[in-house]
Structure 1
Amino acid sequence: MEPGRRLAGLLASAAAAIWTAGAALAQDYTFKLHHFLPATSPTQTETLDPWARAVEARSGGRVRIEIYPSMTLGGRPPELVTQARDGVVDLIWVVNGYTPGLFPRTEVMELPNVYVNDPGAANLALADLFETDLKDDYKGLEVMFLHVHAGNGIALRGPEVHAPADLAGRKMRIPSRTGAWVLEALGAVPVAMPVPDLPQALQKGVVDGALVPFEIVPALKLQDQTDRLIEGDRNTRFGTTTFQLSMNKARWDSLPPEIQTAFREASGPEWLAELGRIWRGTEETGVAITTAAGKAHQVLSPAETEAFRTALEPVVDRWIEDADSRGIDGAGLVARARAAVAAHSSR
């Protein structure tokens, strides 16, 4: 190489190194976001990554969010809330139901016949209810946003299902205690486990199926383990699951107002509505992969859907009774949740 070209190359390399160092210095705040699903899951690629980049952009480059999937920082999914509260990590994304009893008020949105089939409306309703009804569930945490998935459908081995009686005695994985109540009301046997454990449980015959959103099909290859996906008429589901993306409260309180604003702006109503559209869209991908593998996508008739709705209404009553025993106005919270969902569904 000619001396002049070699010098130019060295200068370019030095300039790049200086720019990189400057960029690193510009990132005044680095956060570790820990979650339990694979890096290839729609949760990371279509939810966590876009949200993190939006926060970074709104901070003017002063924030960097590093995402750690598949529990790579250690522990099990049920430990994520404790990790955030104790400051082991800065941010978590987790299923509320993995730590039963910690988020009793927020469970209202998981209930069948409260949540039906509109994740965007449910997300916005959760935001509406947060300050007045839900905030006490989140001591030691600063919630960035709450959301639901598109709803619990059924992934199952075996023949078609047309009535609750067709699930009697079937062992099924559940994501939360409200999911367990759904299965009990349908005569099935609930088996609690984090969703990453589901493929092995199906392989070993520990369960016959699961309550899951269909977006999880490709990440867990459920098309290889089950015979069908089942949902109600017009995408009606059998309840849903609530999630939180939360920060350690002390870390949040240490941030200057402009950095807090970057997080808040990236987590507002527009994002919550978009999140609903994203999660609804990923359901279609799960169904397409299942049918391409030669498995069934079974949609219940309106009459069959109504029979399931009737069978599941006692789950709501059971939750109200449990909430009342905790000093929570269960009936009032159900009514407010239904009203908030309806208000956003009409937009």
Structure 2
Amino acid sequence: MPKRTMRPSPLAVATVLAATLGFASLASAQDYTFKLHHFLGAKAPAQARMLEPWARQVEENSGGQVKIEIFPSMTLGGRPPELVQQARDGVVDLIWTVNGYTPGLFPRTEVFELPTVYGNDPAATNLAIAQMFASDLADDYQGLEVMFLHVHAGQAIQMRDRPVRTPADLSGARLRIPTRTGAWVIEALDATPVSMPVPELPPALQKGVVDGALIPFEIIPPLRIQEQTDYQMEGADGWRLGNTTFQVSMNKARWDGLPAEIQQAFRDASGPDWLAEVGSIWLASDAFGIRFATDGGNEHIVWSEAETDAFRDALTPVVGRWVEDMAQKGIDGAALVDSARAAIQANAAPR
């Protein structure tokens, strides 16, 4: 008597097929998992409003093949100045960091930090940086694949107990700054620069290690800077005393090993529309930060045009100092200044 063949039911076949496809999809997605390491907290605007939306957009662009895990507050180890080397060594896949935490490594990009080069437009500056990257800045980033570069709203002055309306008001003060170009700004104002990563600022203010800081207003809520300061100052029409450049970069070997379509998922998430949006994100975060301070009883001082011009005049020599320093490195700093100013102006939205 012949044996009867047992055929699986259509439901069973569908269940097995779905499970198989699900496992295959999961395995594929795990092939492209990236660790993004940075120095601020998870609730800081940098993560909540910039890094997280960017990461989710990359994941969406990849059709679910990419997963980006964000590790804030240096939770993977090390200190903020070590982030660039962590990416170059492949200890982590991606970083977000301040270029100036590793002085001297990104000299060409410093042009966008200079007072009177940067004024008050982070979106235009982000677009200008991207426009100049391949021709003028790429040599700064050996061992890294840059996803995008950006600035914040710019350096405002925040003081413990001293209002500032003229350059002379800062004479003798000790001010925190993360970059060497920012240190030159402080020195031009007859004050003393104190270099430190931003997480160290609150205790430094509380203990009187510094009298204040050159730093944007967006940092006030996450670090509760309003509790350690009484005054926040900026120039007319949002003018700032220079800026800080940041990077989101990937380990170069990891990047080179990715398929073209995965690389494109990152590129598509990091284009001109995103760079303009990043500028808007930082301006909005800055506006929220200063409201946070004034709601807490702090005084927000906006200089008049004449007061702002006095600071511009005082800081003009900083640009010349930087150009001379670049010449010693064989870099045409004057040409970079001219190009950066022209690119920012070309990308500025009509006012």
Provide TM-score, normalisation by structure 2.
Answer: 0.93
1:162, distance to aligned residue in structure 2 (A): 1.2
**Which amino acid is 1:291 matched to?**
T
Find the counterpart in structure 1 of residue 330 from structure 2.
327
Deviations 1:264-289 (A, max 9, x none): 00000000000000100000110111
Q: CA distance change for structure 1 residues 60 and 157 in 2, over 3 Å: closer, same or farther?
A: same
Aligned equivalents of 1:74 and 1:89: distance in 2?
A: 10
1:20, distance to aligned residue in structure 2 (A): 7.3
Q: Kindly indicate whether residue 224 of structure 2 is the aligned counterpart of residue 221 of structure 1.
A: yes
Aligned equivalents of 1:22 and 1:304: distance in 2?
A: 64
1:228, distance to aligned residue in structure 2 (A): 1.1
**Which amino acid is 1:52 matched to?**
A
Deviations 1:32-64 (A, max 9, x none): 000000001000000000000000000000000
Aligned equivalents of 2:18 and 2:204: distance in 1?
A: 50
Q: CA distance change for structure 1 residues 299 and 61 in 2, over 3 Å: closer, same or farther?
A: same
Find the counterpart in structure 2 of residue 6 from structure 1.
none
- SS of the residue aligned with 1:152? coil
1:175, distance to aligned residue in structure 2 (A): 1.4
Aligned equivalents of 1:197 and 1:53: distance in 2?
A: 30
Find the counterpart in structure 2 of residue 60 from structure 1.
63
**Which amino acid is 1:224 matched to?**
E
Q: Kindly indicate whether residue 21 of structure 2 is the aligned counterpart of residue 25 of structure 1.
A: no
Find the counterpart in structure 1 of residue 121 from structure 2.
118
Aligned residues between the structures: 334
Identity of aligned residues (%): 65
Aligned equivalents of 2:17 and 2:191: distance in 1?
A: 65
1:161, distance to aligned residue in structure 2 (A): 1.1
Q: What is the root-mean-square deviation of aligned Cα atoms in Å? A: 1.6
What are the within-5 Å matches in structure 2 for residues 268-283 of structure 1?
Answer: 268-283=271-286
- SS of the residue aligned with 1:30? strand
Aligned equivalents of 1:21 and 1:73: distance in 2?
A: 29
Q: Kindly indicate whether residue 246 of structure 2 is the aligned counterpart of residue 243 of structure 1.
A: yes
1:106, distance to aligned residue in structure 2 (A): 0.2
Find the counterpart in structure 1 of residue 95 from structure 2.
92
Aligned equivalents of 2:37 and 2:257: distance in 1?
A: 20
Find the counterpart in structure 1 of residue 107 from structure 2.
104
Find the counterpart in structure 2 of residue 3 from structure 1.
none
**Which amino acid is 1:164 matched to?**
P
Aligned equivalents of 1:17 and 1:34: distance in 2?
A: 34
Find the counterpart in structure 2 of residue 4 from structure 1.
none
Q: Which has the larger radius of gyration?
A: 2
Aligned equivalents of 2:210 and 2:77: distance in 1?
A: 27
Structure 1: give runs of 5+ residues left out of the alignment. Answer: 1-13
Structure 2: give runs of 5+ residues left out of the alignment. Answer: 1-15
Misfit runs of 4+, over 4 Å: 14-23
Picking from 302, 306, 330, the partner of 1:303 is 306
1:159, distance to aligned residue in structure 2 (A): 3.0
What are the within-5 Å matches in structure 2 for residues 1-347 of structure 1?
Answer: 21=23, 24-27=26-29, 28-346=31-349
Aligned equivalents of 2:182 and 2:74: distance in 1?
A: 23
